[in-house]
Amino acid sequence: MARVFVAETGLGFGQWRERLRMQAALPFLAEGLPIEAVARRVGYASASSFTAAFHRVVGVTPRQYFPR
């Protein structure tokens, strides 16, 4: 099943799930919600783990992506 998932999506399940979480986070960040609240809403235990994942996937931190 894992091979089929990679063949169909080009990503491992973990990578796909991480990208999906980041996509779900973007509207919350655009609304100006605190990073900690966004992190919890998309399934991260802390703002720092969310920020690290966001940077890994998007290439910049959430604050750089949505400067205030």
* Each residue's pLDDT expressed in tens, for the chain with a length of 68 residues: 889 999 999 999 999 999 999 999 999 999 999 999 999 999 999 999 999 999 999 999 999 999 87
Task: Check: CB of residue 62 under 8 Å from CB of residue 56.
Answer: no
Q: What is the pLDDT of residue 68?
A: 79
Q: What is the pLDDT of residue 63?
A: 95
pLDDT tens for each residue of 3-15: 999 999 999 999 9
Q: What is the pLDDT of residue 16?
A: 95
